[in-house]
Structure 1
Amino acid sequence: MATTETTGVDAATAEAEGSGLSPWSALVGVPAVDVARHPAPITAEIALPGSKSYSNRALLCAAMAEGRSTLRGLLRSDDSYWCIDSLRRLGARVAVDGTTVEIDGLGRRRPRPEARLYIGSAGTTARFLPGLLAAGGPGRFTIDASRQMRGRPMAALLAALRALGADITCPETPEAPPLEIVAPSLLGGPVTLSGALSSQFISGVLLAGPLALNGVHVLIADHVVQKDYVAMTLDMMETFGAVLEADPDLMDMRVEPGGYRPADVGLEADASTATYFFALAAVTGGRVTVTNVGTATRQPDLRFIDVLERMGCAVAREPQAVTVTGPAGGRLTGGFDVDMQPLSDATLTLAAIAPFADAPVAIHGVEHIRKHESDRIAVICAALASLGIGVEERPDGLTVHPGRPTHGDLATHDDHRVAMALAVLGVAAEGVRLRDPGCVSKTCPPFFDLLAGLGVGVSRVPAP
């Protein structure tokens, strides 16, 4: 059983190559891993790495606070590394000791007013940092990103920030990084934007509010595609002293000017990562307890356990922990249609275990995941079909039919969720070979080590 310890890359090389890799990356230079079939039930108690969503929100709020903050339980991933690197380039002191981070915040000051920032493939940093820079002290800032992130336009966010006064231009790729930002330029005030495209666009405006001269008043024109993530942003802002108010539906939100205060914050595990381990219990007839995230969380992907109950699993819920027990033999119950929009990052996890159900499983409401790291609907449909599983693709989802997946040699499309979901499928079926497995470093660099720790056969495929 080969380990997949973090090997990392030189940050300057990654930036020069337009890569999302970082010194915290795993499996650098490893072309593929083989994940073997595991015929026995998987039984384990496991603590998982911290939440990506909470980690990057906390890092940015701490950096914009006046004083010293401490964050515990930080996710050490590519996205977190590039966020920290950007904060250091702005002049913030950031000390990292394992998963504990101490940050001396900048407030509105910009000690390095000509900073060039590189964010890799960190989507949250790409959406959250522009407004914070435009609202801060004087300077000219460049935000550049990986080739992948350059291909993910942010037109709606940039339009909203410009409506609030932000001076942001896109010299190379229309409405996408690299971005050129002149500060101070974000005056704030009222702005109306769509919530149908990305909750991160809304969060990017809200986070800048405490630093803006007039705060911000955000009105949503339609609906919020993933309301829980906006609520997570508001919670984190309040933790760092922001003064705000919002209606229950998050259609009308006001943030007062006044800045952020330092805080001591403990970060829970990533609920999206937890779905893969709950799914392993489901498809092997095992029992898995995740000990550091539970019903007290705001993270919407924890609701995946409700879907697993519908599929015949037993679920024990506690505020800080969850246990999933799969049905004997791993034969799941299908024959239902589920709207995965509120927990869309778990869509691929469900699609990966759906072949092991006794009837088709239909998924809808997730058209927006076509514009994530990959076209996730098209990619998972192609992967399932190549393994002999009947699948029907629709604009906003897919239907997966029962079957026995064959062994496959599969591309991950540089998408962490594709890699982790297909690994779960391989464990329950006949194994899989996953190309470019290091993409898991975006949210869970030790993913394959964690699988190996559960007894799953994981081995590196040597470079040719």
Structure 2
Amino acid sequence: MTKREIKPLKGPIEALVKVPGSKSITQRALICAALAEGESILEDALRSEDPDLLAQALAATGVRVEFSETALKIGGIGGSPRLSGKEIFMGNNGTGARFFLAYASLGKGTPIVLTGTKRLCERPFKSLIEALRAWGASLSCLEKEGFLPIKIAGGGLSGGEVSLSVSESSQFLSALLLVGPYTREPAVIKLSSPLVSRPYVDLTLAVMEIFGAEVEEREETFLVHQQKYQARHYQIEADASSASYFLAAAALVGGQVTVANLPKDSLQGDAAFAGILSRMGCEVTYDKGVTVTRDPKISLRGIDINMGRYPDLVPTLAVVAAKAKGKTIIRGVPHLRFKETDRLKAVATELRKCEVPVEELEDGLIIEGTDNIKGAEIETYDDHRIAMAFAILGLVVEGMVILNPGCVAKSFPNFWEILGTLYA
């Protein structure tokens, strides 16, 4: 197995970085552009493992996909995917797999099989499958009910009223919303459980609106009328989750980091990370991007926070909390156990290796900050966010080694290159 040693930084940092485009926006825009008629151009679309796998899957249904250095050109198919009998491999891309499952259910042709890595085939799909079947989708789980691999026969979706549990993932709701404009009757989605990760649903609604579709929301019900997405030339903003690692570097090391291409009015919920760092003792300013500053003479402080709206930020927050004075209590994220790995267990296990006191809760973590963090070999569990978060902790700890560093390709292929600029 490959490994990468992280060298600590000496003294405060001052850095200006530009991170790649948002993975969450890119994957939502890909679905909308594929269903639209005409050519869409997605400027600064993220080129990484997850969106590339989704783009390849869409191409297998008749969508024209052209990659360039700075953009994706998508030739839409007007709401009618063509199923080609191929096996579609989605890696460990849970978002892409759930979106594609709903998208392909609109199609016609020879049934296809959607599959992925062993871990993706262990992640939950049951609530989404049941909702799509209620809309008339012909879906057959080939090994275990509620899980990939799934045979998709297509035939279109009826729409109408459907009940949906979103306790495990908001992606189930986003998947139904994205195809809602193309169901035969108005799509009425009633939630049967509290919604986790609400900002990701808001992001879905915002991207749908950019492509010309509107959704009505009343209490726990979403109504999507028959509409058509319009092709767009769309500038995709920076990935707020990717930005979080470099903002965390300023918090941990001291000094100042600016992420140049993340706007103050970002569509992404994870842009809230700068505000979380301000609660811990950092200064946050916005000009051409977002800047986080920490005076090295001022210590970070622990906080008590519900991260249910921002689950992808938990590994990053956890490594910052490891150096903060007092306890940090992270709540409201039981659904993190269904991600690329059980992220709560993974973060707790690796922090303990570094001799950071941590208690694992059913829905979160309690982390006691310490000045006696030790470097360790960090198992990444093929989880990009574990690798990147602990790499940032390595900026203030001797002897931090990241195993399987290539797993960052899932969302941030040039992470190590940009991390290297902090040493300049």
Q: Deviations over 1:30-81 (max 9, x none)?
A: 6111111112212111111011100011111111111111000111110011
Letter in 1 for 2:364: G
Matches within 5 A, 1:205-354: 205-247=176-218, 251-318=220-287, 321-329=289-297, 331-334=299-302, 336-354=303-321
Q: CA–CA distance in 1 between the matches of 2:81 and 2:330?
A: 46
Q: CA–CA distance in 2 between the matches of 1:402 and 1:187?
A: 53
Mean alpha-carbon deviation: is it higher for 70-79 or for 114-123?
A: 114-123
Structure 2 length-normalised TM: 0.96
Secondary structure of residue in 2 paired with 1:342:
coil
Letter in 2 for 1:424: I
Q: Report if the CA contact (8 A) 1:283-1:330 is conserved.
A: no
Letter in 1 for 2:40: S
Q: CA–CA distance in 1 between the matches of 2:230 and 2:363?
A: 41
- Please tell me whether residue 399 in structure 1 is matched to residue 366 in structure 2: yes
Q: CA deviation at 1:422?
A: 0.5
Q: Report if the CA contact (8 A) 1:131-1:161 is conserved.
A: yes
Q: Report if the CA contact (8 A) 1:108-1:137 is conserved.
A: no
Q: CA–CA distance in 1 between the matches of 2:141 and 2:83?
A: 21
Name the count of aligned residue pairs.
423
Q: CA–CA distance in 1 between the matches of 2:348 and 2:22?
A: 27
Correspondence for 1:126: 97
Residue in structure 1 matching 2:26, options 41, 55, 78? 55
Q: CA deviation at 1:449?
A: 0.8
Q: CA deviation at 1:112?
A: 5.0
Q: Report if the CA contact (8 A) 1:416-1:439 is conserved.
A: yes
Q: CA deviation at 1:301?
A: 1.2
- Please tell me whether residue 355 in structure 1 is matched to residue 322 in structure 2: yes
Runs (4+) off by over 4 Å = none
Matches within 5 A, 1:413-432: 413-432=381-400
Q: CA–CA distance in 1 between the matches of 2:298 and 2:45?
A: 33
Q: Deviations over 1:172-217 (max 9, x none)?
A: 2332221111121421111111232211000111111112111311
Structure 1 length-normalised TM: 0.88
Q: CA–CA distance in 2 between the matches of 1:391 and 1:110?
A: 48
Q: Report if the CA contact (8 A) 1:284-1:329 is conserved.
A: no
Q: CA deviation at 1:241?
A: 2.0
Residue in structure 1 matching 2:341, options 347, 357, 374? 374
Letter in 1 for 2:312: D
Q: Report if the CA contact (8 A) 1:132-1:211 is conserved.
A: no
Q: Report if the CA contact (8 A) 1:131-1:186 is conserved.
A: no
Q: CA deviation at 1:116?
A: 2.7
Correspondence for 1:25: none
Q: CA deviation at 1:114?
A: 2.5
Q: CA–CA distance in 2 between the matches of 1:227 and 1:407?
A: 35
Say if 1:344 and 1:111 are closer, same or farther in 2 by CA, change over 3 A: closer
Correspondence for 2:353: 386
Residue in structure 2 matching 1:102, options 73, 77, 80? 73
Correspondence for 2:379: 411
Gaps of 5+ in 2: none
Letter in 1 for 2:308: Q
Which fold has the larger relative contact order, with Cα–Cα distance below 8 Å and residues 6 or more apart in sequence?
A: 1
Q: Report if the CA contact (8 A) 1:150-1:173 is conserved.
A: no
Letter in 2 for 1:305: A
Q: CA–CA distance in 1 between the matches of 2:43 and 2:77?
A: 20
Q: CA–CA distance in 2 between the matches of 1:126 and 1:101?
A: 20
Letter in 2 for 1:377: L
Correspondence for 1:17: none
Secondary structure of residue in 1 paired with 2:15:
strand
Letter in 2 for 1:127: R
Q: CA–CA distance in 2 between the matches of 1:331 and 1:132?
A: 49
Q: CA deviation at 1:430?
A: 1.6
Mean alpha-carbon deviation: is it higher for 325-334 or for 69-78?
A: 325-334
Q: CA–CA distance in 1 between the matches of 2:35 and 2:125?
A: 23
Say if 1:234 and 1:407 are closer, same or farther in 2 by CA, change over 3 A: same
Secondary structure of residue in 1 paired with 2:88:
strand
- Please tell me whether residue 442 in structure 1 is matched to residue 381 in structure 2: no
Correspondence for 1:174: 145
Q: Deviations over 1:110-130 (max 9, x none)?
A: 445323322111111111111
Q: Report if the CA contact (8 A) 1:66-1:262 is conserved.
A: yes
Q: CA–CA distance in 2 between the matches of 1:347 and 1:110?
A: 37
Q: CA–CA distance in 2 between the matches of 1:182 and 1:330?
A: 60
Q: CA–CA distance in 1 between the matches of 2:347 and 2:387?
A: 10
Secondary structure of residue in 2 paired with 1:356:
coil
Identity across matched positions, percent = 37
Correspondence for 2:40: 69
Q: Report if the CA contact (8 A) 1:90-1:115 is conserved.
A: no
Correspondence for 1:151: 122
Q: CA–CA distance in 2 between the matches of 1:265 and 1:173?
A: 39
Secondary structure of residue in 1 paired with 2:172:
helix
Secondary structure of residue in 1 paired with 2:309:
helix
Correspondence for 1:117: 88
Correspondence for 1:22: none
Secondary structure of residue in 1 paired with 2:65:
strand
Q: CA deviation at 1:221?
A: 2.1
Q: CA–CA distance in 1 between the matches of 2:262 and 2:205?
A: 20
Q: CA–CA distance in 2 between the matches of 1:385 and 1:427?
A: 18
Letter in 2 for 1:206: L
Say if 1:329 and 1:382 are closer, same or farther in 2 by CA, change over 3 A: farther
